[in-house]
Amino acid sequence: MEQKTSILASFFANRRGAYLVLAALLILNIAGLRWIGGLTIETMRIMGVDPVGYYVYLPSLIFDRDLDFADEYEYFRGIGYVAPDQELTPTGRMPNPYPIGVALLWLPFFLFGHVAATVTSYAADGLSTPYGVAIYISNVVYGFAGIVLIYRLTERVFERGVALLSVTLIWFASGVLYYLFPLSPMSHMPSMFIVTLLIIFWLAKREEMNVWSYVALGALGGLAALVRWQNVLFLVLPAADVFIKARRLGVKRETVLHALAMVGMFFVVFFPQMIVWKVLYGSFVTVPQGAGFVSWFRPALFDVLLSSRHGLFSWTPVILPAVIGLFMFPKEKRGLGYLLVAAFALQLYINSVAGWVGWSFGMRRFINCSGLFSLGLAAFLTKIQRRLRLRYLAFIGVLLVIWNVLFVLQYYSGEIPYDDYLTFDDFVVEKLVLLLFLMRVLK
């Protein structure tokens, strides 16, 4: 028995073994969705306000060679919740407050969808079924790649077995589970992917940074901001390193060069968004949702964290120990932990002053922090496992996963409101009823 346990522990501590586990979990995730009927060709489509806003750049630029979205909005009338007769922008165009970066990351898959439409009976117009299916698949590809990167990020700092457990819980006990296979493809999986890539690159190069490292970080930061503008705040991590180095060694030519390289490359990569703003709104820099979208001095911290309407901790309680864990890094890594706390604090602030999320499974704007949460949860597990037996930790982890899976099923089926406050019945009673029903079905 001891030998078998040792072999099993060795397997989970091996990087290749961890990848096999993650792949098996993806297959399990897909099989579960297929079983409940939540993953069909009919469900792989572009619908909803945000997905339409992200998507219309592709058919408009590739087929029409312009940024006039009137015909695309007309097509999505009724299935996209977009009004083709909405008020025009100052330049006389249809508005689109959503960034262009998601469309750029979707582009290879869009082209694959175009090839599929061309060789089948579907219309090769950028709007038919193959395009929606291809974009949905891209969401899964970027999401799973992001999960693998989160594991690689976490195992750079913590023991591999703990890293695997941590990323598994962040996947199955948080909003990642829903947004990997949402009702319609959103920006959150590409965002999680590119932000995690930025953080893992920064962490890998941190001890031997040169000017080209800062150029690469600026490029990754620019792309991350193109996908979701709030992602620019993750550049606080390399920026803090520059500041700390300047404070310790004094401001030198090399330090200034590094800062300029990062900032300069950021704007080079982000410039396509500025061109879009200029064409649509008449200015290279703007807040397309309007000046009132951000209330800089009125952060709604309680609502963001604890409200029954998408609260980060109330919907996904696994995030609470993950955030606590950011303060529990071992002594030799405590500086890294504090930098990650600063990065999370900036995301918390910007999400608490920006307009409300609308339709959402939990506080979806924090999906980009999944890498931070995995690191924090790994730190928490590393600390707590010395005081709590493994079977108790496993039991708590299973409860958190069950809670989240039941929440996702409620959301998929429309049993809870997509954008409203939840009752005690929504939170607890209906989950128990659903759990009893599933237990009967699985007997």
Over residues 213-231, the pLDDT tens digits come to: 999 999 999 999 999 999 9
Confidence of residue 8 (pLDDT cuts 50, 70, 90): very low
Statement: residue 388 has pLDDT above 90? no
Instruction: Please count the CA atoms within 13 angstroms of the CA of 255 that sit on its side-chain side.
Output: 14
Provide the domain limits for residue 86.
2-442
Statement: residue 3 has pLDDT above 50? no
Q: What does the alpha-carbon distance between residue 307 and residue 316 come to, in Å, rounded to a whole number?
A: 11
Higher pLDDT, 49 or 261: 261
The whole-number average pLDDT for the span 78-106 is 84
Hey, how many other C-beta atoms are within 10 angstroms of the C-beta on 23? 12
DSSP label at 425?
I
Instruction: Please count the CA atoms within 13 angstroms of the CA of 375 that sit on its side-chain side.
Output: 29
The whole-number average pLDDT for the span 278-305 is 92
Least confident of 2-6, 50-54, 179-183: 2-6
Contact 262, 70 (CB under 8 A): no
Contact 318, 174 (CB under 8 A): yes
Say what angle helices 160-172 and 370-384 make with each other, to 10 degrees. Answer: 130
Instruction: Give me 323's structure tokens.
Output: 């955030």
Tell me which residue of 66, 98, 103 sits closest to 82, measured CA to CA: 98
Confidence of residue 42 (pLDDT cuts 50, 70, 90): confident
Confidence of residue 1 (pLDDT cuts 50, 70, 90): very low
Q: What does the alpha-carbon distance between residue 267 and residue 251 come to, in Å, rounded to a whole number?
A: 23
Rg (CA), the chain: 22
The whole-number pLDDT of residue 48 equals 85
Statement: residue 4 has pLDDT above 90? no
Contact 154, 22 (CB under 8 A): no
Higher pLDDT, 43 or 69: 69
Higher pLDDT, 255 or 350: 350
- The one-letter amino acid at 413: S
Q: What does the alpha-carbon distance between residue 366 and residue 350 come to, in Å, rounded to a whole number?
A: 11
Mean pLDDT, the chain, integer:
91
Contact 130, 116 (CB under 8 A): yes
* 294 three-state secondary structure: strand
* 88 three-state secondary structure: coil
CA angle 107/112/113 to nearest 5° reads: 95
Q: Please count the structural domains in the chain.
A: 1
Q: What does the alpha-carbon distance between residue 50 and residue 81 come to, in Å, rounded to a whole number?
A: 9
Tell me which residue of 202, 180, 206, 183 sits closest to 191, measured CA to CA: 180
* 245 three-state secondary structure: helix
Burial (Cβ within 10 Å: 0-12, 13-18, ≥19) of residue 328: middle
Q: What share of the chain is helix, strand, coil (3-state, %, to 5)?
A: 70, 0, 30
pTM above 0.85, yes or no: yes
Statement: residue 150 has pLDDT above 70? yes
Hey, how many other C-beta atoms are within 10 angstroms of the C-beta on 58? 26
Place of tokens 């690159």: 201
